[in-house]
Amino acid sequence: MAVVVAMAVLGACQQWSGSEGSGSGAGGDEPPAATASSTRASGFGAVFLGVDECSSFGTTSFTEVACTSERAAARVVARRDGKVVEGPACPSTTDFVLHISESRPAYDEDGDGTVPQGYACMRKLAPPHPGDPGGGGGPRTIVGDCVYSTGKGEVRETSCDGKAKNEPEYEVTSAVGKRTECPASTALFVQLGGDDPVGCARPV
């Protein structure tokens, strides 16, 4: 994910240009979108891919399955209507965001013949969890995550353990309301969004 950053150089705040995230809620480009299939069996709940329901993994689409199924791969931790860019952010440790396209299936949640457009915040049933602090992925950058510079005025998240393709250069150690609240050791400001939109990062 790419996030807007600014360097802290000799006490001066220099705003770097970059692309602000559109759909990760708090500050980052979303992972490639996957579309949820509206194919389902009755009995999984009143809402298609509602909270605590599970999905299978697929290369181009996801299908709702029983959480006890051997095909179950991820659980819904939050479900929103509408577009990601217009709705509230997913929980901080979300592993990925599943986009649900509006459709008219044979079965739907309220009997009107439609499943509305929305998105589901997903958490994998088994580790590794890219949304965990330092995990190197997920739709949000949070405290404990590590990033590296792309050389284009922005940074991208990578795992803190150094096992990913790109080595970590900075770690987000705290989140605050404004840059002046970051500790003196801060070398990089990372745009996070949310109630505390500024991430204070130090070299690793």
Q: Distance between CA 66 and CA 78 in Å, rounded?
A: 17
Residue 91, pLDDT score: 93
d(CA 121, CA 107) in angstroms, rounded, equals 22
How far apart, in Å, are the Cα atoms of 47 and each of 120, 121, 135, 171?
A: 11, 14, 30, 39
Give the pairing of strands 61-62 and 35-36: parallel
Comparing 31-40, 165-174, 185-194, the range with the smallest average pLDDT is 31-40
Residue 39 above 70 pLDDT?
A: no
* DSSP tag of 178: S
Quickly state the pLDDT bin for 40 (edges 50, 70, 90): very low
For residue 60, the one-letter residue type is T
pLDDT digits (tens, 9 = 90+) for 116-149: 789 999 999 999 999 999 999 889 999 999 999 9
Q: What is the CA radius of gyration of the chain?
A: 19
Average pLDDT of span 41-69: 79
DSSP track, 49-91:
T-TT-EEE--SSEE-EE-TTSTTEEEEEEEEEES-GGGSPPPP
Q: Return the C-alpha torsion angle 24, 29, 33, 36, nearest 10.
A: 0
Contact 39, 71 (CB under 8 A): no
